[in-house]
Structure 1
Amino acid sequence: MKLSIYHKTIEDISVFDEIMSLYAQEADDVQILSENRRSYRGLEQLLLEIDAATTVVVVSDLSSLGLTTEDILNRLDWFISHNVCLFICKYSTTYEYGMMQLMNKAVLTTLLQSMLNTHKNIVEIPRNKRNNSGRNKIAFPDGWGELYEEWENKKITSKEFIKQSGLKKATFYNILTEYKAMLKEQSDYLKKYRCGKRSG
């Protein structure tokens, strides 16, 4: 089983701790996909390439699925109709019964019905209420991940990276530093939960 964590850059990554504690050791693979609050392209790409039989998608809240209630309803319906397991940190019932698709589907269907029956207070759009945040996360420009990978693999120069990202030089280097720190945070986070899983 593969865990695909969809992380919004405004969220503290520790929001996934409980699910990671429960399932990281038994998962064959864990990936973290981070994306800006208002962007959902990475999520769309993930869902296009997903193997429903072997992948569990993890999000912090329903608001991670879309900007509007309609977007959230459509995505939730997509998970249900495609039989893709979705763990939502805020709703422990989505994951406390294990990676059982039937139970997960029943809980997601209940959430969807609740939203459709005008109980829309379930959906809380994030307002960046990070209690202990020392600094705001920088929003990465569209296509940043792909450009970074090309730059990292020396397919493009720093000058080309700056030009294609559309940033001023100083802003570019600030964002680059933030992005490297985020990648390290993700790597350290995965190591924290995967260190015991080694084949001897």
Structure 2
Amino acid sequence: MGKFFYARVSSKDQNLARQIEAFKKMGAADEQIVCDKESGKNFNRENYKALKSALGLRAGDVLIVKELDRFGRNKQEILKELEYWKKREIRVMVIDIPTTMIDIPKGQEWIMEMINNILIEVLSSIAEQERDKIRQRQREGIDCMPVKNGKKVSTKTGRPVGRPEIKKPNNWSENYEKWVKGEITAKKAMENCKLKRSSFYKLVNEE
């Protein structure tokens, strides 16, 4: 039986230390710990996906997380992932849900599964509600920000919030016209204007 420990925080400036410390107390080695600094809204995370790849978990292995909301914050996505691991005979253990950590006597698996399903249903609902509250607070905070030059401005930094405005390069009109007429490809126009694909098409939509 192999063990992997999975830790997650939502952003790059948040700290994984508390989760990693809990894993170390259980005897986890550095190579057994997998971490992501990405949102819990879904499971499209680079290192989590690596656990599901050919180099990751196998039947009979165990995946351990500190708390259910570190695993994910979307209820349906959480249940879907738990079912994914179950079908592959990989046990998911959550340190803060003690019943998931118990060694199950042979023949009693269904009892523990029933208990765990109830707990996970409740806690995943709470995790999802908490995520919705965070998003609501963020929206309310942005709504209350002062407006300067047509943009919301942070009261803490005095800087505009959101993505910066994309400025048209000096050679935009020339290359845009050539692209529209089919004289150059979009890729060539991007290269000439030194624009990323997303920025190029955003400017196109503004024309």
TM-score scaled by length of structure 1:
0.45
Q: Which has the higher contact order (CA 8 A, sep 6+)?
A: 1
Please say which structure displays the higher CA radius of gyration: 2
